[in-house]
Amino acid sequence: MTLVLGLTGGIATGKSTADKFFEEKNIPIVDCDEIAHNIMNVNKPAWKDIKEIFGEKYLNEDQTINRKKLGKLVFNDPTKMKILNEITHPRIFQEMESQIAQYKSEGYSLIIVDAPVLFESHSEKYYDKTLVISLPQDLQIKRLMARNNLTKEEALSRINSQMSLKEKEARATYVIENTGSVEDLYKKLNELLTKIKYEG
């Protein structure tokens, strides 16, 4: 029996650190951000749709998508965000399902799916259980500003473009507060693995 655990959180809450923990435990990870990145490569169907709908001004000189420019547009315009999601989400889910099936066929008992917009994209049906990595907003803003070199306003705009952490916490099977060190987070994730094994 394979358990598929959907991993999410907010921007800069520590999902990548959690990924690293699972990697070190040799637990396979399906990375939706990586899939989203790959499906937008030059000449892929999603790239063609983005070029057609948003225009060539969102392409770099080498024809790759200018993700920063496109990101700025969609993070500040819910309608444009919806259009981009309609282009990318079905293709992301298709590839995600294919990777999950592959890992299941290899006999893994636990598969992690790192899905930043798990609840926003209504993709809960793909997972048996969900885990939210959370932290207080003031700490989230601080970490995001430092990580992405953003102003406080830019950081807030990105955070507010996603569902609130409070709402994600209410919907999740498990919630881990990432307010301490990496060691603290690893300790909490270890406890969660024990719990999952015990419940399973």
Each residue's pLDDT tens digit in the chain (200 positions)? 899 999 999 989 999 999 999 999 999 999 999 999 999 999 999 999 999 999 999 999 999 999 999 998 998 898 999 999 999 999 999 999 999 999 999 999 999 999 988 998 889 999 999 999 999 999 999 999 999 999 999 999 889 888 999 999 999 999 999 999 999 999 999 999 999 988 86
Q: Two tokens at 162?
A: 């996603």
Q: Tell me, what's the pLDDT at 194? A: 95
Structural domain of residue 69, as residue ranges?
3-199
In Å, how far from its chain's centre is CA 176? 16
Is 0.85 topped by the overall pTM? yes
DSSP summary character for residue 183:
H
Yes or no: say if 2 and 109 are a contact pair by the CB < 8 Å rule: yes
Here the CATH number for the domain that contains residue 43 is 3.40.50.300
Q: State how many domains the chain has.
A: 1
Cα dihedral sign for 35, 121, 187, 192? negative
